């Protein structure tokens, strides 16, 4: 702005032209919640022309109980900008859209705010989720094969080794013990893969996720997370999850275990968090239906973060950066969450990694007292 050349450029350009050129939908909302400005990207996004929108209440575009409307109120209240990364907007004409939202106060002294939307590549994300499910299915098929071709013969081998052990000298006994230990290890691995096998339709009921998390924290701090700080940050009013308790325990244990394996041993911190998020919806593939996923359960850690070269394949089976890792933990998480109709995602940077599950709430009538 200071340089002359820039001043003259700005003199020549109408600020509106900049807004018009922006590919992101931008809306300005005045202090009475009326639409004061929309750029062409916003007109396109909402499939409505500026002349029909200007001066009309925001509610013609977005329901009053939508996340964006809530963000607008929050920004006015707090006087600072807020971003939300995963919002589903139910546009009245253009249907549901998945976006990241930035809402900022305008420095005009009044309570006007500017909202900008960024479409997320949710389709890609969904594809990835479906990809995880397919991957889980191939793990299940492989587990069945291994159970048949490996586990059964192994139990024969183990039995034979135990027989030999009875008449073996001390030196040979070390060998037979080795055979037994190694067969046990392989059987345990095949059993772990068997978790992916489909045991018929999953029976779901109203599950108190805080009890699940407490249980996970208890198991973790008695074992693999001993000495680490586990912080609970619960929304006490969270409704129950429509889910399968034991599978949820298993999935969350895997997330907490991963966190425990990467945090600094002397000041490791793992945070278990729950919150209610309105407006997160997901289309059910193959049907017109959409599910609401308002329950967010997250596991955060202060470890070094997910290594960037793994990030895109993290939920695939057998992807691991650990010398003794099987790469099965996160694919199991993806499978469990997928079976719940939910979504798992993560954000990671050095010192702050968080894995989030978005899950459906149980119906009122299914709730336990
Ligand atoms: N909280 C985390 N911080 C950093 N990296 C992580 C985190 N969670 C998972 N990862 C990365 O994702 C990889 C895959 O995790 P996953 O749980 O599927 O397998 P694993 O932990 O390596 O092995 P397994 O769980 O089968 O013992 C890990 O090896 C690690 O590189
Ligand atoms: Mg793991």
The predicted pLDDT at position 354 comes to 95
Summarize pLDDT for 209-230 with one digit per residue, the tens: 999 999 999 999 999 999 999 9
Distance, CA 31 to ligand 2 centroid (Å)?
A: 49
The pLDDT > 70 percentage for the chain reads 84
Task: With cut-offs at 50, 70 and 90, classify the pLDDT of residue 363.
Answer: confident
Q: Is the pLDDT score of 196 beyond 90?
A: no
Helix (H, G, I), strand (E, B) or coil at 84: strand
Residue 101 tokens, joined: 């939202």
* 321 Cβ below 6 A of ligand 1: yes
The predicted pLDDT at position 369 comes to 46
The predicted pLDDT at position 2 comes to 47
Q: From atom 29 of ligand 1, which residue's Cα is the shortest distance away?
A: 320
Give the integer Cα–Cα distance in Å for 313 and 355: 15
Residue 21 tokens, joined: 């050129």
Distance, CA 309 to ligand 1 centroid (Å)?
A: 13
Cβ neighbours for 74, distance < 8 A, ≥ 6 positions apart: 82, 103
Distance, CA 329 to ligand 2 centroid (Å)?
A: 4
The secondary structure element, H or E, covering residue 85 is: strand 82-91
Residue 146 tokens, joined: 């291994």
Q: Is the pLDDT score of 340 beyond 70?
A: yes
Q: Is the pLDDT score of 271 beyond 70?
A: yes
The atom number, within ligand 1, closest to the CA of 331 reads 18
The predicted pLDDT at position 260 comes to 97
Give the integer Cα–Cα distance in Å for 175 and 183: 12
Q: Buried (b) or exposed (e) across 205-216, using 16+ Cβ within 10 A? A: ebbbbbebbebb
Q: Is the pLDDT score of 5 beyond 60?
A: no
Give the integer Cα–Cα distance in Å for 224 and 221: 7
**What is the mean pLDDT of the segment spanning 324-347?**
88
Within 10 angstroms of residue 236's Cβ, the number of other Cβ atoms is 6
Per the CB < 8 A criterion, the answer to whether 330 and 315 are in contact is yes
Distance, CA 360 to ligand 1 centroid (Å)?
A: 25
Give the integer Cα–Cα distance in Å for 132 and 333: 10
Q: What is the 3-state secondary structure (H, E, C) of 270-304?
A: EEEEEEECCCCEEECCCCCCEEECCEEEEEEECCC
The predicted pLDDT at position 350 comes to 93
* 70 Cβ below 6 A of ligand 1: no
Summarize pLDDT for 28-68 with one digit per residue, the tens: 999 888 999 999 989 888 888 889 899 999 888 887 778 88
Output DSSP code: residue 353. Answer: E
* 282 Cβ below 6 A of ligand 1: no
Give the integer Cα–Cα distance in Å for 167 and 113: 84
Q: Buried (b) or exposed (e) across 219-231, using 16+ Cβ within 10 A? A: bbbeeebeebebe
The predicted pLDDT at position 28 comes to 93
Output DSSP code: residue 223. Answer: T
The secondary structure element, H or E, covering residue 249 is: helix 245-262
The predicted pLDDT at position 367 comes to 52
Give the integer Cα–Cα distance in Å for 98 and 96: 7
Summarize pLDDT for 105-163 with one digit per residue, the tens: 987 666 889 999 887 654 455 556 666 666 777 777 777 777 777 777 888 889 899 99
Per the CB < 8 A criterion, the answer to whether 129 and 334 are in contact is yes
The predicted pLDDT at position 118 comes to 82
Per the CB < 8 A criterion, the answer to whether 132 and 314 are in contact is no
**What is the mean pLDDT of the segment spanning 220-246?**
94
Summarize pLDDT for 283-332 with one digit per residue, the tens: 655 555 667 888 999 999 999 999 989 988 898 888 899 988 888 899 88
Summarize pLDDT for 69-117 with one digit per residue, the tens: 888 988 888 888 888 766 777 766 666 677 888 899 987 666 889 999 8
190 or 285: which leads in pLDDT: 190
The predicted pLDDT at position 151 comes to 79
């Amino acid at each position: 702005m200071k340089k002359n050349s820039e001043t003259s450029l700005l003199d020549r350009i109408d600020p509106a032209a900049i807004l018009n050129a922006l590919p992101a939908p931008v809306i300005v909302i005045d202090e009475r919640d009326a639409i004061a400005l929309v750029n062409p990207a916003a007109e396109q996004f909402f499939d409505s022309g500026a002349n029909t929108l200007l001066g009309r209440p925001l509610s013609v575009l977005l329901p009053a109980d939508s996340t964006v409307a809530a963000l607008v109120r929050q920004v006015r209240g707090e006087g600072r900008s807020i971003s939300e990364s995963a919002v589903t907007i139910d546009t009245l004409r253009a249907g549901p859209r998945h976006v990241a939202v930035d809402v900022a106060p305008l420095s005009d002294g009044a309570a006007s705010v500017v909202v900008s939307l960024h479409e997320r590549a949710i389709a890609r994300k969904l594809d990835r989720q479906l990809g995880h499910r397919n991957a889980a299915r191939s793990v299940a098929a492989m587990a069945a094969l291994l159970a048949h071709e490996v586990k059964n013969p192994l139990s024969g081998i183990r039995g034979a080794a135990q027989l030999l052990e009875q008449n073996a000298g001390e030196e040979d006994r070390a060998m037979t013990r080795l055979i037994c230990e190694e067969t046990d290890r392989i059987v345990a691995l095949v059993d772990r893969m068997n978790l992916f096998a489909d045991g018929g339709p999953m029976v779901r009921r109203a599950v108190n996720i805080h009890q699940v998390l407490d249980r996970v924290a208890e198991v973790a701090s008695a074992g693999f997370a001993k000495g680490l700080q586990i912080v609970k940050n619960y929304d006490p009013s969270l409704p129950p999850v429509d889910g399968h308790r034991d599978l949820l325990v298993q999935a969350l244990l895997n997330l907490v275990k991963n966190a425990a394996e990467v945090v600094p041993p002397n000041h490791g911190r793992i945070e278990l968090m729950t919150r209610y998020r309105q407006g997160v919806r997901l289309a059910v593939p193959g049907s017109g239906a959409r599910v609401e996923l308002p329950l967010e359960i997250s596991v955060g850690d202060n470890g070094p973060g997910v290594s960037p070269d793994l990030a895109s394949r993290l939920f695939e089976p057998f992807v691991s950066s650990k010398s003794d890792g099987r790469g099965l933990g996160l694919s199991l998480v993806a499978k469990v969450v997928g079976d719940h109709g939910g979504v798992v995602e993560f954000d990671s940077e050095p010192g702050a990694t968080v894995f989030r599950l978005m899950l459906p709430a149980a119906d009122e009538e299914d709730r336990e007292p």
